[in-house]
Amino acid sequence: MKIKIINSGSDGNAYVVTDKNGSQLLIECGVKINQIIRNIKIDKLQGCIISHEHKDHSLSKENIIRYGIPVYDESNLFAGKMERIGDYKILPILSEHNVNCFGFIISVVSENKKILFVTDSFSIDPKTPDIRYDLAMLECNYSEEYVSKIKDMDNEDIGFYNHMSCERLRSWLLNRQYKPKTLCLIHLSNRGNLGAYGLNNGFTDCCEELYVAKKDMEFEIL
């Protein structure tokens, strides 16, 4: 199973999963359509799942539909109801954001692998099964310690509190019985000073393999 980070962050989010047979699933489409098309194979793309309506996650939704690719979002997904999308099974879970938002448990059928994907959420649904995920792609947006020191909080800064802090994510991971095999930290905020927080060291005890999402990053889950 291969993962491609087309982009991750407040300027746009899009991720591609490719199984061993070449079948693809697009998670989020919050970048320009040309950027997406360069990173997928139209004839292999099974569908696109979107966590919520904000443009940094859904910008190219209408263009994706025009290409004849099935799109799944809050209009046709329901928390706790499994959806089969080609070679993938999708179980939406509730997220805690300022609009309706889903996380996803994705079963890659051909490889018997599971992905946990959660972004733009203050917390992770406590009903999320405590199992050994082959890959957890989880938001790590800002440092609470850093943000607490910002003296002049404006409306944009308040938006931090609709996202997952690195401290809260780390606590959640350490309180789980099963650690993910691979952890990929997504949707980092430059304003949240995560570079200074030392993410590469701060989560190494939460997984076997750690990635911090960057534009055009690719990695494989064996």
Q: Which residue has the tokens 């938001």?
A: 139
pLDDT at 197 exceeding the cut of 80:
no
Question: What average pLDDT is seen over the chain?
Answer: 91
- 191 vs 55, more confident: 55
Residue 26 has pLDDT above 80, yes or no: yes
Split at pLDDT 50, 70, 90, the class of 158 is: low
Q: What are phi and psi of 26, to 5 degrees?
A: -95, 125
Lowest mean pLDDT among 52-61, 85-94, 162-171, 213-222: 162-171
Above 50 in pLDDT, residue 155? no
What is the mean predicted confidence (pLDDT) over 10-14? 95
pLDDT of 194 reads 62
| Residue showing tokens 């569908």 | 47
Enter the CATH code of domain 2-220: 3.60.15.10
| Residue 58 predicted with pLDDT over 60 | yes
pLDDT of residue 78: 97
Structure tokens given for 88: 């993938």
Average pLDDT (52-61) is 97
With contact defined as beta carbons under 8 Å apart, do 85 and 26 qualify? no
Average pLDDT over residues 98-122: 96
> What percent of the chain clears pLDDT 90, i.e. is strictly above it?
79
Instruction: Give the Cα separation of 163 and 34 in Å (integer).
Output: 28
Model pTM greater than 0.85?
yes
Is the pLDDT confidence value at 27 over 60?
yes
pLDDT tens figures, 65-92: 999 999 999 999 999 999 999 999 999 9
Q: C-alpha 86: how far from its chain's center?
A: 20
Q: Is the pLDDT of residue 3 over 80?
A: yes
